[in-house]
Amino acid sequence: MKAKDIMEPVKETLTPETTLKEAVNRMRVARRGNGRVGVKGMIVLDNGKLAGIVSIKDILKTIIPSYMNLTELGEFTWDGMLEEMAKKVADRKVEEIMTKDVITVSEDASLMECADHVVKHNLQRIPVLNKEKQVVGIVYIRDIYYAIVQALFDKLDKEERK
């Protein structure tokens, strides 16, 4: 099985100039391949080329500055603090917060290669590139898992038929 067999085609993207507020809204209303609404990360394209990827974690890191010790936030927060912090960063550009060093795979990458990247780099999604290095899809961790589960059940079914 190859990346192209399990990937979801890229339907919606962001640009480096997209504001954080607009990016969050697009992620909120984007439709996933299974019909569900909302995604946890989106590809960023600059003139058709992969520039980065933005995830919920990137957004949270922007809202909650690194100098704030996350284990102690509960000790000094006030009602509405997170909301106020979010409003302050709403107009920042995606290029300021996106992950720029994006791990990708080719359309012909094996399921094992995809799984290896997910495990080694703690990824939730991997952009898939065609031969021209254009983003054509995304392999999500759940896609890899479902492919493995299907293979496992296919094997068990074959053994039971013997």
Angle between helices 20-29 and 56-63 (to 10 degrees): 140
Burial class (CB in 10 A: 0-12, 13-18, 19+), 74: exposed
Give the CA angle between residues 45, 123, 97 to the nearest 5°: 45
* Rounded distance between C-alpha atoms, residue 89 and residue 70, angstroms: 18
Query: CB burial class (10 A; 0-12, 13-18, 19+) of residue 34?
Result: exposed
Please, are residues 143 and 7 in contact by the beta-carbon 8 Å criterion? yes
CATH of domain 3-161: 3.10.580.10
CB atoms within 10 A of CB 124: 15
Tokens of 94: 């995606």
pLDDT in tens, the chain (162 residues): 999 999 999 989 999 999 999 999 999 998 776 667 788 999 999 999 999 999 999 998 888 765 555 555 555 566 677 788 888 888 999 999 999 999 999 999 999 999 999 999 999 999 999 999 999 999 999 999 999 998 888 766 666 666
Is residue 129 within 8 Å of residue 50, measured between CB atoms? yes
Tokens of 143: 């896609």
Sketch the domain layout of the chain as residue ranges: 3-161
